[in-house]
Structure 1
């Protein structure tokens, strides 16, 4: 009877989840060489090739696809067995992600965190940067990914974001009339940037739509009710950048920051996973990002 090594099974599941030897090695805190050795050991034990690897992609073989679900169940049973006799309470990690920051990388980020520690309970909070900053300062969340507010200099920079004015192609703004704006809340930092830019350009504006959350604002803009400012990564479907057509001022770039006061080794490993996933997604080509999002959706939905 074949006895499986939990570590090699975890290596296989991590590769299968991330579709990458490089990212699996980063997640598990080891090298690609060690990952390959463990996978070959498992394949030798089972007598089947589980992963098919080419220079362009990593995918499951037919045997690997059949083995994946039982392997995940094995790891889950192992974690539950260890936790049952452990005096340590299950770990929880609360992460705030600003609505003007989080986009397509969020499901990828969550998948990476789960692969890093399947027993970790992840609590995600989506709010404006200012609200998350206040929650972080009150100790309500462990970490926050936000747009840099004011002159606050703490935290680790993850990426630079660029903003624009977006509206539907048929949105009309008549000269002399106030520009119709949509915003999620009066305290929204992105709205403050927009209104300061309009004031400097002597362009009058009016708040046409005040919604609860950025999704409501996106719906209002997509419906043609108003214009608003969005990260160029997160503009609503069916909208276009209209600053040139409407004579609107350029907007300054914004830094995306990770805030955390956690210092223990396990938490630092979680934060390293967050930083790696976020930075990698922001520098990857759009077509590769779309492929990875599709892959993560398949894994999460399976």
Structure 2
């Protein structure tokens, strides 16, 4: 058969296949666009062009979460295979491929044994690039939900959201060892901003004791909170791991009950690659070691 007599066959563009896989894995055009560092309209156009090419609908958009159709599931199987072969070819030709893992950590984990463990992992896996972001748990989860982080460790109320791994978090009431504030009336409080973790629990506990309170210091910085308490600007509620010699732990003698409603939780997507899962295991081991 001459070339002119052969039927036209679609040539599958890897970029379009990668886009389809990302949308299917994320269940959302918006999240997929964020992970691909693209716009939602561009992602939608690529999927539509692919659907026009094969002559079938590949994604069911009727529900809030996007799901592949039967034809989409078939194409996704081949797409994943082609993308894997493409990655293998790139690795073979370049002598190795660099994988980037984007990690989000609360400020109290951006130090000490966590950084030591991540650095050790990086030394053993030099082709893995770690991008680590520190911040408030609520901000990290928002960034994760937008698809801009691959792995996060955050603080949350226990069992509020299903996680890959979690561990109850020990929280302490802290006062200054040198300049105690608990005896003041009203009690000055050192807190994270409104909606920040622990803030409402602090206020509710103080009111339950029949004590008056005022906000003495507010900061988004964990270091700022630690220093404010140490220097006598107020009482605060913080993870046990950040207690220093400049702090005094308040307990039953002062009328405080233990706070047991928080946990440290680890999240990654079900489709996460082996490096993300290995890093999640490292973080999980750190949480368990703290509980022992």
- So what's the TM-score if we normalise by structure 1? 0.58
Superposed counterparts of 1:267-286, under 5 Å? 267-276=276-285, 278-279=286-287, 281-282=289-290
Highest Rg: 1 or 2? 2
Tell me the residue number matched to 2:200: 192
Q: Secondary structure of the residue that 1:154 maps to in structure 2?
A: coil
Tell me the residue number matched to 2:150: 142
Structure 1 gaps of 5+ residues are 1-81, 285-302
Tell me the residue number matched to 1:241: 249
Q: Cα RMSD (Å) of the superposition?
A: 2.7
Superposed counterparts of 1:10-25, under 5 Å? none
- Asked whether the 8 Å contact 2:190–2:225 carries over to 1, the reply is yes
Q: Secondary structure of the residue that 1:172 maps to in structure 2?
A: coil
Give the count of matched residue pairs: 201
The structure 1 segments of at least 4 consecutive aligned residues displaced by more than 6 Å after TM superposition are none
Tell me how far 1:107 sits from its aligned partner: 2.0
Deviations 1:54-104 (A, max 9, x none): xxxxxxxxxxxxxxxxxxxxxxxxxxxx97943975211111112355553
Tell me how far 1:173 sits from its aligned partner: 3.2
Q: Which of residues 212, 225, 232 in structure 2 aligns to 1:217?
A: 225
Deviations 1:20-67 (A, max 9, x none): xxxxxxxxxxxxxxxxxxxxxxxxxxxxxxxxxxxxxxxxxxxxxxxx
- Output the CA distance in 1 between the equivalents of 2:166 and 2:214: 33
- Output the CA distance in 1 between the equivalents of 2:273 and 2:165: 20
- Asked whether the 8 Å contact 1:103–1:233 carries over to 2, the reply is no
- So what's the TM-score if we normalise by structure 2? 0.60
Q: Which of residues 182, 193, 199 in structure 1 aligns to 2:190?
A: 182
Tell me the residue number matched to 1:207: 215
Q: Secondary structure of the residue that 2:198 maps to in structure 1?
A: helix
- Output the CA distance in 2 between the equivalents of 1:106 and 1:212: 21
